[in-house]
Amino acid sequence: MNGDASAPAGGLGTTLLTACVPAVWGTTYLVTTELLPPDRPLLASLVRALPAGLILLLVGRELPRGIWWWRALVLGVLNIGAFFYLLFVAAYHLPGGVAALVGAVQPVFVLLLSAAVLGSRIRMLQVFACLLGLGGVALLVLRPDAALDAVGVSAGLLGAACMGTGVVFTKRWGKPDGVGLLTFTGWQLTAGGLVLLPVTLLDEGLPDAVTGSNLLGFSYLSIIGALIAYAVWFRGISRLPALTVSFLSLASPLAATVLGWLAVGEDLSLQQLAGAAVIVAAVVLAQPRPSRHTATAPRRSEETTTSDSVASLGGDIR
């Protein structure tokens, strides 16, 4: 079992690379409304997950063993199957910014679950960072004409809970020794896709026709938004504290807003710029701080090594 305490520490490079994943996921709202068939959240989720998972399984050529059959299924449902479906429901029912705001509650779920499952301590600074992040996203995306839909809001909240739970249990269980990251990612994408397959066929069925734009959107979400993005995401979970990873998800509304400005011509107000700055501040506050003992230990070790070297040198001179 891998808890927060035993996980290897990740540096700035790992944090920045992991933050690219929710930024990519922030494009989902625009891709859904502009390129995908209308009102087909199950089909969108299935096509995003299953092809990418099968590709990774073919590359890795390794299936789960023992306890990892049900663990892969649980993680696949939380991180992929249920989360994808709820994400697309929110994207179809809400404006992209509002959907991103609802999903921004994920760090709150992770903060509470980390305390219960990983034994992490809840610090006031972390609580403040959660509230600050929510406030920043609200400044970033909420407008007087923002449309709220009960189905979309509920789906966004449940999706945030699913992903938050998936992050914590991925951190708790880690991955089996000797199993590569791509193979581990493939297990979850395939499990999530297989769960979605019968539900999609029974509820939505297959579309009568698929356009070139649909194929472009599906390909982007499957290859970039799932296959590559989730491999990087799980790498980040293995190297960073669960709460840190969860806070990086706030890059999603930032990306959605910037993309709306660049692609759709939406205006960026001073309020939105202030919201972006607040989100960045929340992410920085949520980063782990080395304890005083940890910070001074290397220095003491260095001093001891230096003293030993001087003593050795003195002995050589004598």
DSSP string, 8-45: PP--HHHHHHHHHHHHHHTTHHHHHHHHSPTT-HHHHH
Q: Which of 174-188, 223-237, 277-291 has the lowest mean pLDDT?
A: 277-291
Q: What is the pLDDT of residue 170?
A: 92
Mean per-residue pLDDT, 60-64:
91
The two structure tokens encoding residue 8: 């290897």
Mean per-residue pLDDT, 231-236:
91
- Regarding pTM above 0.85, the answer is no
Answer yes or no: are the C-beta atoms of 237 and 167 closer than 8 Å: yes
Neighbour count for residue 188 (Cβ, 10 Å): 28
DSSP3 helix / strand / coil % (the chain, rounded to 5): 75, 0, 25
Q: What angle do CA 292, 298, 299 make, to 5 degrees?
A: 85
Answer yes or no: are the C-beta atoms of 35 and 225 closer than 8 Å: no
Chain-centre distance of CA 232, in angstroms? 9
Q: Is the pLDDT of residue 85 over 50?
A: yes
146-179 confidence digits (pLDDT tens): 556 778 888 888 988 998 999 999 999 999 988 9
Q: What is the pLDDT of residue 195?
A: 95
Q: Is the pLDDT of residue 293 over 50?
A: no
Nearest to 76 by CA among 178, 200, 179, 162: 162
Q: What is the pLDDT of residue 4?
A: 45
Q: Is the pLDDT of residue 141 over 70?
A: no
The two structure tokens encoding residue 16: 């920045």
Can you give the residue ranges of every domain in the chain?
12-309
Give the whole-angstrom CA distance, residue 65 versus residue 75.
15
